[in-house]
Amino acid sequence: MFISSAFAQTAPAAAGGTDMMSSLGSMLPLVLMFVVLYFVMIRPQMKRQKEARAMLEALAKGDEVATAGGVLGKITQLGDQYLTLEVARGVEVQVQRSAVVQVLPKGVVK
């Protein structure tokens, strides 16, 4: 009384090429998501890393910089891995080169 009768329906016969097209059609959204992910996230991140690497390689004695910890100073000595910052008159701090996040305009640090 409450249950209706179910009628079976036969599926049409699949043609030879439609099976391949359906598998490609199901892969298309995944490929499109990867392409969008590449252009929105991966490519800009690689560009920022390249710019940061170039900035660290271009550091020179006398540059005024800001570190990741917020310390501002003037570079007095440069090494391969470390550099020495003068944070106040007569006060020098040795930091890792990778801690430098920004090169400041001349005259900011006094």
> 25 and 50 in one domain?
yes
Residue 74 falls inside a structural domain: yes
Q: What is the pLDDT of residues 40-86, one digit of tens each?
A: 999 999 999 999 999 999 999 999 999 999 999 999 999 999 999 99
Least confident of 14-23, 35-44, 62-71, 91-100: 14-23
Tell me how far CA of residue 76 lies from CA of 6, 44, 55, 60, 62, in angstroms: 85, 33, 17, 9, 6
> 43 and 66 in one domain?
no
Q: Judge if pTM exceeds 0.75.
A: no
Q: Please report, for the domain that includes residue 81, its CATH number.
A: 2.30.30.60
Residue 5 falls inside a structural domain: no
Task: Kindly give, in sequence order, each residue whose CB lies less than 8 Å from that of residue 83, ignoring residues fewer than 6 positions away.
Answer: 59, 75, 77, 94, 95, 97, 100
Number of domains in the chain: 2
Domain assignment of residue 97, given as a range: 60-104
> 76 and 48 in one domain?
no
